[in-house]
Chains A and B, each alone.
Chain A
């Protein structure tokens, strides 16, 4: 069982919901979130900052702005992870920075509150 966490653009929510339903994942929940990514930051400058150069830190400048995003969390069985990740990427991809991220995190167990079922049964 895996937890798929996706951070996507807010105007893509409807398409993403539809696409997830089409690939067989009906259950998920969504958060309002604010986020920032690497954006247009030069990776060399970033490496410099991590090594502690102050000139590099100055170059980073005003890149700290947080943009409104939606965070989708779905718990799916292992066999569906590939399909879900692919669907989210294909639906949300415009090719520009800011499209978001998909993380896959191991989930130890899940319980359905109504019946007390655990494991894969509780999410299928």
Chain B
């Protein structure tokens, strides 16, 4: 079974997380910029409230067996100063029903399912 992991992280942490994922053996990632706010309703500096903060979204699709390891890697790297702060981001996980590689036309969902059951 395949899972899609979407992690929203601080832009300045993106390079570190990408490098950590590469070292952990997850090279395939898609990155895009997003803007958003969290539970704290943005950030207030003096009189000005910023309610759209720039973040980076990393999307990758992995085998369900690697889920905990993947999340652990992202979490450890993306946390600021090692103990965490508001604005460090979120990780969302959803099911993937099919996954196709365009260059070879291969459906990887079938292969991943076999791997788990075997």
Contacts and interface: CB of A to CB of B under 8 A. Distances in A.
Interface of A: 2, 5-8, 31-39, 41, 46-47, 49-50, 57, 60, 63-64, 66, 69, 71, 81, 85, 88-89, 92-106
Nearest to B103: A99
A95 B19 CA distance: 28
A20 B95 CA distance: 24
A36 B29 contact: yes
A99 B98 contact: no
Interface residues of B, number: 28
Nearest to A2: B97
The 10 A-B pairs with the shortest beta carbon distances in the complex, nearest first, are A99-B103, A35-B30, A104-B98, A49-B25, A99-B102, A50-B25, A102-B100, A33-B32, A104-B97, A100-B102
A20 to B, nearest CB: 14
B40 interface: no
Given A69-B30, A89-B100, A103-B99, A50 B22 contact: no
Contacts, number: 101
Interface in B20-36: 22-25, 27-32
Contact of B30 (A7, A39, A88, A93): A7
A36 B101 contact: no
Given A34-B30, A106-B95, 4 more contacts: A35-B28, A41-B27, A47-B25, A57-B23
Contacts of A95: 103-104
Contacts of A81: 98
30 contacts: A5-B59, A33-B31, A33-B32, A34-B30, A35-B28, A36-B29, A37-B27, A37-B28, A38-B27, A41-B27, A50-B25, A60-B22, A60-B27, A64-B22, A66-B18, A71-B32, A89-B102, A89-B105, A93-B103, A93-B105, A99-B101, A100-B102, A100-B103, A101-B28, A101-B101, A103-B98, A103-B99, A105-B96, A106-B95, A106-B97
